[in-house]
Amino acid sequence: MALQDRNKRGFRRLLRSFVYATNGLVYVIKREQNMQIHLAISIAVLFLGLLLELSTYQWLILLLVIGGIFSLEIMNTAIERTVDLITDEYHPYAKRAKDIAAAAVFVYSIFAIIIGLIIFIPPLLEKWFS
pLDDT at 123: 95
Q: How far apart are CA 28 and CA 37, in angstroms?
A: 11
Q: How far apart are CA 23 and CA 9, in angstroms?
A: 21
Q: Which residues contact 38 (CB under 8 A, 6 or more apart)?
A: 69, 70, 73
pLDDT at 84: 93
pLDDT at 3: 55
pTM score: 0.87
Instruction: Find out whether 105 and 73 touch, Cβ atoms under 8 Å.
Output: yes
pLDDT at 117: 98
Mean pLDDT of the chain: 93
Each residue of 67-111: pLDDT tens digit?
999 999 999 999 999 999 998 889 999 999 999 999 999 999 999
